[in-house]
Amino acid sequence: MLIPIQVVLGDLTTFEADAVVNAANAALAGGGGLDGALHRAAGPALMEACRALPATKAIRCPPGEARLTPGFRLPARFVLHAVGPIYASDPDPAATLASAYRAALRLCEQHGLRSVGLPALACGVYGYPPEQAAPIAVGVCRERRWDLDAITFVLTSAAMVTAWRRALRERDGAS
């Protein structure tokens, strides 16, 4: 049985789930877009938790990986900080993007989390074209039976929602 995947127009800072995925930078230093919004909504304890994670040369989470922190003041209990590729400079952006989504879903399983809200990783300032990112994101969610009850893509624009719903229809129609 396929895990239910929903695609909604919304705001991850108000999304109720066991975890939400942050489109983070490698330093886990906060930033603009979703990253900044989640940090503002969660409060300063989120930045403190990020700073407490081990770093190598200021890198706390390399591209293609994910790290877990509490959600603090967010409705989600946890934040999974996933770092996508910088589209123009990553030698294999599709592999890095898939790896980032996969790492976040694995963290859900490892910590017994049952529901997750996902963004359009790397589609903001990192420049990944949404029409190319959507099939990769959906593909990772469908590549195996993840031990989750629900996956929801919570996207910030109608164009993103359209791209993700198309990718989901095409993937599920082909299965």
149 near 114, Cβ under 8 Å? yes
Q: What is the DSSP letter of 101?
A: H
25 near 31, Cβ under 8 Å? yes
151 near 4, Cβ under 8 Å? yes
The strand pair at 66-70 and 78-82 is best described as antiparallel
71 near 63, Cβ under 8 Å? no
> Is 147 in the active site?
no
Catalytic residue among 35, 90, 92, 147: 35
Positions annotated as catalytic residues are: 35
